[in-house]
Amino acid sequence: MNHSIKTRALFSFFALAVTASLAAKGSAEDLTIYAIKGPSGVSMIRLFEQPPRAEGFRIRVEALAQADLIAAKFIAGEAKAGILPANVAAKIASAGKGIQIAAVTGTGMLSLLSADPAVKSIDDLRGKTVEVAGQGATPDYVFRKILLGRGITPGEDITLSYSLAYPEIAQSLIAGRISLALLPEPFATMARVGKPELALVGNIQDEWVRAGGEGNYPMTVLAVDAALAAARPGLVTAILDALRESTEWVIHNPAEAGTLVEKHELGLKAQVAAAAIPRSSYVFIPAAEARPSLEALYRAFLEFAPASIGGALPPDSFYLQ
């Protein structure tokens, strides 16, 4: 074979290789994992730098401002994987949408903060007004369950106010405009940094168990499209493995994680995120293992607002095996 023939053969080989490579890339499917801006997205932050890898998929991570936006994408069939509040995932599934919980990503991180020297325990809340973060959300119903367990009836023995957003509650505590509030991280840390004399009243997570809850209550979950999970279990495994690794990395590297949280514009400054991570309950608990704690939470929703989870406990198929 002469030189020109060899050259043409070599060129043809590389042309075929490039064509095959482009075809392979073209056949890959785009998949977006949705995170929620704010504290719920923190445990996923490493995925923004290093998205999961799975054959046949180009995976990216995108943070949306509110859980409602992610819920709307699941309802429309656009989202295949994303973070949702535990009750929202159940409500979507109850409407006939094929989604499953794959893992719990965040558990109870609520603090009851007081600038009122007369309030030293939950029992001292009688006759008081407490600003609560998130009407109709997990903090609201967890707190109601705790109060009733103590014999305190909301609306009669205590006033629950829902007039302020999370950051405004923290600022109002600091400024002295309110004296009692139930806040999640990192806003509880923000309030205590701004006003160190704020007292921590009881332990909300312990009070939840005392009121009949199962372990620490789930706040956020990774939901996945059920059809996709059935068809591509390897893909879901890759996502879960990456999420587990990210969560562990965040817990052990709060300063570095805080820097990434600010870099990727999750709505928190690096120092605030770093300070709050050790006080936040970022976890990775597979759905099957988390089911008892999820059902304990769902029973609280059924007690106070059945429609918020579809009126019944989710079926077995709701939990990814």
In a 3-state reduction of DSSP, which class is residue 84?
Answer: strand
Stated pTM of the model: 0.84
Alpha-carbon gap, residue 105 to 88, rounded angstroms: 14
Alpha-carbon gap, residue 95 to 106, rounded angstroms: 24
The DSSP H or E segment spanning 71 is helix 67-75
> Each residue of 26-36: pLDDT tens digit?
578 999 999 99
Q: Extract the tokens encoding 66.
A: 């509110």
Region 39-65: mean pLDDT is 94
Q: What phi-psi label fits residue 215: left (phi over 0), alpha (psi between -120 and 50 degrees) or beta?
A: left
pLDDT band of 75, cuts 50, 70, 90: very high
Which are the contacts of 311, defined by CB distance < 8 A and separation ≥ 6? 94, 302
Q: Reply yes or no on whether the pLDDT at 143 is more than 90.
A: yes
- The predicted pLDDT at position 6 comes to 41
Flag the least confident range among 12-16, 263-267, 271-275: 12-16
For residues 178 and 131, the answer to whether their CB atoms sit within 8 Å is: yes
> Each residue of 82-96: pLDDT tens digit?
999 999 999 999 999
pLDDT band of 14, cuts 50, 70, 90: very low
Alpha-carbon gap, residue 193 to 173, rounded angstroms: 11
Q: What phi-psi label fits residue 71: left (phi over 0), alpha (psi between -120 and 50 degrees) or beta?
A: alpha
In CATH terms, 25-107+216-318 corresponds, of 3.40.190.10, 3.40.50.300, 3.30.930.10, 3.20.20.70, to 3.40.190.10
Q: Reply yes or no on whether the pLDDT at 265 is more than 80.
A: yes
In a 3-state reduction of DSSP, which class is residue 308?
Answer: helix
The CATH code of the domain at 110-210 is: 3.40.190.10
- The predicted pLDDT at position 8 comes to 42
Torsion over CA of 134, 140, 143 and 145, rounded to 10 degrees? -170
pLDDT band of 20, cuts 50, 70, 90: very low
The domain segmentation of the chain, as residue ranges, is 25-107+216-318, 110-210
